[in-house]
């Protein structure tokens, strides 16, 4: 009975033409006033005021993205992470081409270790023009960024970053 109610609710929401966002264990549908979360046969309605043209952006943990890159292909994602460094990793690679003349890559730190180890399975591409606005970024700064997963070449995640925000600067060692 619960499954029939959930299916009926999902069909109703989809029938209204509301945007859907999929995650490995959640289905979310949003409109201007409410957010409905369907998780493992549970329905919860959260009241939230959303912007009229809210994009379907999936908040994703970096390791979830790396573990299931195909699930996020051509999806817009939002990631909170610790910045590692700017790099040239993955540039000019033909199956996922981004020119080194126009782009630069940045790496984030692997969140499941205590040392500063980059998560090299995730290539984050940013235009050089945008990167110039973030020359003050240092290893250890906390960032949030959004972008679209445009390729899963080599089984890795390749992201075109369209927005980057510095959330917290790492405090210098004394």
Burial class (CB in 10 A: 0-12, 13-18, 19+), 130: middle
More confident residue, 90 or 28: 90
Sign of the torsion angle spanned by Cα atoms 119, 88, 106, 68: negative
- For 135, half-sphere exposure in the C-beta direction (CA atoms, 13 angstrom radius) is 4
Intrachain domains 2-54 and 58-168 with the same fold: no
Residue-wise pLDDT for 23-80, tens only, equals 334 444 444 444 444 444 344 334 333 343 456 999 999 999 999 999 999 999 999 9
Which CATH architecture best describes the domain 2-54? 2-Layer Sandwich (3.30)
What pTM was computed for the model? 0.67
What is the token pair recorded at 171?
Answer: 């405090």
The residue ranges of every structural domain in the chain are 2-54, 58-168
pLDDT value at residue 18: 41
Superfamily of domain 58-168 in the CATH hierarchy: Nucleic acid-binding proteins (2.40.50.140)
């Amino acid at each position: 009975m619960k499954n029939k109610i959930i299916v009926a609710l999902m069909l109703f929401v989809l029938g209204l033409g509301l945007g859907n966002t999929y995650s490995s264990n959640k289905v979310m549908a949003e409109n201007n006033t409410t957010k409905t979360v369907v998780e493992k046969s549970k329905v919860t309605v959260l009241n939230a005021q959303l912007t009229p043209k809210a994009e379907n952006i999936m908040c994703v943990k970096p390791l979830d993205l790396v573990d299931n890159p195909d699930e996020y292909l051509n999806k817009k994602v939002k990631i909170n992470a610790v910045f590692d460094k700017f790099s040239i990793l993955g540039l000019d690679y033909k199956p996922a081409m981004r020119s080194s003349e126009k782009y630069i890559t940045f790496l984030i730190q692997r969140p499941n270790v205590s040392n500063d180890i980059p998560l090299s399975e995730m290539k984050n591409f940013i235009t050089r023009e945008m990167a110039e606005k973030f020359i003050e970024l240092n290893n250890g700064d906390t960032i949030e960024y959004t972008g679209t997963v445009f390729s899963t070449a080599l089984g890795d995640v390749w992201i075109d970053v369209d927005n980057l925000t510095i959330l917290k600067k790492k405090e210098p060692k004394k």
